[in-house]
Structure 1
């Protein structure tokens, strides 16, 4: 894990140097050029780092000790809060897998293109959801099929 983190930090530093601080992808550029790929690499690595930092804070809070609320209502409220916190961390753990997958797609040159149609996903969608793997249209069709199969 530590080697992965240091590798991520090296990639992040290299991408930051290549992109610069004031860069924003533009529709006027060639789609998924090196600078755009570095921009999305930075976005994904920063996101991953913030998730790891938050998980570390949660872990530290858990290690600080059990819930010792004397009042039963306060204790129940604290346990509910911890349950929500742990579910959030579980969702973020799954998100890290998606971030890692997106970083692998950048390395393979597949990032930014729909896994179903092969069409460009689009800069606006990728900025809003950097782990997106499908165009809006393909995602909507996928969700419709999923809903139909769930209703059967």
Structure 2
């Protein structure tokens, strides 16, 4: 579908950037496996060693979770590109600025809507 808010050149550049980011994440995930959940007992000599192993595993799993979330966001942005909805704020329906999209090509909210979301989230947390 045609996106009436952005030029074809801009959309093509965004698609290329999203595909590159997706490829980079997938390659990183392939080459950096999550460390084994349970360490080899022969490797763990002291409690400090256990703590370091578990901390490393937790960080590895958190990184993987962030990578998976980012992959989902990128896939969603690629879908929106195909549907002609790329770059539209999910709250207001208005176009998101090109500079913001170039910086964060999977972004879902305009700066104003993001600020409102953050303000409301902080108000609820207080």
Q: TM-score, normalised by structure 2?
A: 0.81
Quote the Cα distance in structure 1 between the aligned partners of 2:87 and 2:114. 14
- Structure 1: 5+ residue stretches without partners: 1-29
Quote the Cα distance in structure 2 between the aligned partners of 1:109 and 1:48. 20
Is 2:125 the counterpart of 1:150? yes
Counterparts of 1:10-89 in structure 2, within 5 Å, are 31-59=5-33, 62=35, 66-67=39-40, 69-72=43-46, 73-89=48-64
Map of 2:71 onto structure 1: 96
Q: Could you say which structure has the higher helix fraction?
A: 1
What does the per-residue CA deviation read over 1:51-94, in whole Å, with 9 as the maximum and x for residues that have no partner? 111111222x647x955534323343233112101111011111
My pick for the range that moved more, 140-149 or 72-81, is 72-81
What does the per-residue CA deviation read over 1:25-58, in whole Å, with 9 as the maximum and x for residues that have no partner? xxxxx95211111111111111111111111122
Q: TM-score, normalised by structure 1?
A: 0.68
Q: Structure 1: which 4+ aligned runs deviate by more than 3 Å?
A: 65-68
Give how far 1:121 is off.
0.9
My pick for the range that moved more, 93-102 or 113-122, is 113-122
| Pair 1:58–1:66, CA change in 2 (3 A) | farther
2:15, 2:81 within 8 Å by CA — same for their partners in 1?
A: yes
2:35, 2:60 within 8 Å by CA — same for their partners in 1?
A: no
| Superposed CA RMSD | 2.3
Q: Number of residues paired by the alignment? A: 120
**Structure with more relative contact order (C-alpha pairs < 8 Å, separation 6 or more):** 2
What does the per-residue CA deviation read over 1:122-141, in whole Å, with 9 as the maximum and x for residues that have no partner? 11111111111111011101
Give the secondary structure class of the aligned counterpart of 2:32: helix
Is 2:111 the counterpart of 1:140? no
